[in-house]
Chain A
Amino acid sequence: MSVVEDVLPSRFSISGMDARRKITLLVTILFFAILIFATVTTTGFYSVQNFKAIITAAAIVGIIAVGMTYIVISGNLFSLSVGITAAVSASTFIWALRFGLVGAIIIAVVFGAVVIGLQGLLIGFTGANPIIVTIAAGALQEAVAIWITGGVSVYPPENSPSFAFLVSPLFGIPFPVYVFVVAVVLGEVFIKRSRFGRGIYLMGESPRAGRTAGLPITRLTTGAFVVAGVCAAVAGILIGAFNQSGTMTASRTLTIDAISAVLVGGTAVIGGRGSVVRTAIGAIVIATISDLLLLRGYSTPVQLLVLGVIVTVVVILSYLNSERAGRS
Chain B
Amino acid sequence: MSETLRLETQGITKTYGHLHALNDTSFDLRVGEVHALLGHNGAGKSTLVKILSGVVHPDSGTVRIDGEEVYPRNPRHAQDLGVALVDQELSLVSVLTVEENLRLGSRRVVSSEELRTLLDTLGLEHVKLTTLTGSLPIGEQQLVEIARALSRDAKILILDEPTATLSEPEIERVFAAVRRLAAQGKSVIYVSHRLGEVLTLCQRATVFRDGKVVGTKDVADLDRAGIVEMMLGHLPDFRTGSEKRTPENPQRISIQGLSIPPRVPAFDLEVQGGVIVALAGQVGCGASEVLRALAGLVPNARGTVNLNETKLPLGSAVKALAAGVFFAPSDRKEEGLFLSHSIVNNLVATRLPRVSRGGFIQKSRQNAVVMKLLGLTGIAPERRDLDVGVLSGGNQQKVLVARGINQPRSKMLLFDEPARGVDVGGRADIHDLIRGAAEQGNVVIFHSTDLDEVFDLADVIVTMFGGRVVSVRSRAEATPAAVLTDMTHGAEGISA
Chain A residues engaging chain B, CB cutoff 8 angstroms: 1-10, 12-13, 193-196, 198-199, 201-202, 205-206, 208-216, 272-273, 325
Contact = CB atoms under 8 A, between A and B. Distances in A.
Given A5-B42, A212-B329, A214-B317, 6 more contacts: A1-B19, A2-B42, A2-B426, A13-B386, A201-B345, A325-B340
5 tightest A-B contacts by CB?
A: A214-B321, A5-B392, A10-B390, A195-B356, A4-B42
Interface in B195-246: 209-211
Contact of A213 (B360, B389, B392, B403): B403
Interface in B346-364: 349-350, 352-353, 356, 359-361
B333 to A, nearest CB: 9
A9 B387 CA distance: 10
Given A4-B42, A5-B41, A6-B392, A194 B361 contact: yes
B43 interface: yes
A316 B125 CA distance: 48
B360 A212 contact: no
A198 B340 contact: no
Contact of A193 (B44, B296, B360, B395): B360
Interface string B12-41: 000011010100000000000000000011
A268 to B, nearest CB: 9
Contact of A212 (B21, B211, B336, B386): B336
A9 B390 contact: yes
Contacts, number: 115
Contacts of B211: 1, 4
Interface residues of B, number: 51
B394 interface: yes
B16 A8 contact: yes
B224 to A, nearest CB: 22
B464 to A, nearest CB: 22
B318 A208 contact: no
Given A8-B16, A195-B356, A209 B338 contact: yes
A208 B334 CA distance: 7
B40 A2 contact: yes
A195 B353 contact: yes
A198 B352 contact: yes
A215 B318 contact: yes
A70 to B, nearest CB: 15
Contacts of B329: 212
A212 B327 contact: yes
Nearest to B39: A1
B352 A201 contact: no
Contacts of B40: 1-2
22 contacts: A1-B40, A1-B209, A1-B210, A4-B19, A5-B42, A6-B391, A7-B17, A8-B16, A10-B386, A195-B352, A195-B359, A195-B360, A195-B361, A198-B352, A201-B345, A206-B335, A209-B338, A212-B317, A213-B403, A214-B296, A215-B349, A273-B340
Contacts of B210: 1
B321 A12 contact: no
A6 B386 CA distance: 10
Interface string B291-333: 0000111000000000000000000011011100001010000
B489 interface: no
Contact of A202 (B19, B43, B349, B359): B349
B128 interface: no
A249 to B, nearest CB: 39
Given A8-B16, A214-B320, A205 B335 contact: no
A211 B387 contact: no
Nearest to A192: B361
A214 B356 CA distance: 16
Given A212-B335, A215-B349, A12 B341 contact: no
A201 B345 CA distance: 10
B280 interface: no
A6 B321 contact: no
Interface string B355-395: 01001110000000000000000000001001101111111
B336 A194 contact: no
Given A13-B390, A208-B334, A212-B295, A2 B41 contact: yes
A196 B359 contact: yes
A9 B209 CA distance: 20
| A193, A205, A213: residue with the most chain B Cβ atoms closer than 10 Å | A213
B160 to A, nearest CB: 14
B337 interface: yes
A198 B336 contact: no
B96 interface: no
Contacts of B403: 213
A1 to B, nearest CB: 5
Contacts of A202: 338, 341, 345, 349
B339 interface: yes
A315 to B, nearest CB: 19
A119 B387 CA distance: 33
B395 A4 contact: no
Contacts of B391: 6, 9
A198 to B, nearest CB: 6
Nearest to B295: A212
A240 B43 CA distance: 67
A205 B361 contact: no
A84 B19 CA distance: 58
Nearest to B328: A212
B421 to A, nearest CB: 12
B317 A198 contact: no
A314 to B, nearest CB: 19
Contacts of A216: 318
Contact of B337 (A6, A193, A209): A209
A51 to B, nearest CB: 35
Contacts of A2: 40-42, 392, 394-395, 426
Given A205-B341, A212-B335, A198 B361 contact: yes
| A198, A201, A209: residue with the most chain B Cβ atoms closer than 10 Å | A209
B392 A209 contact: no
A201 B317 contact: no
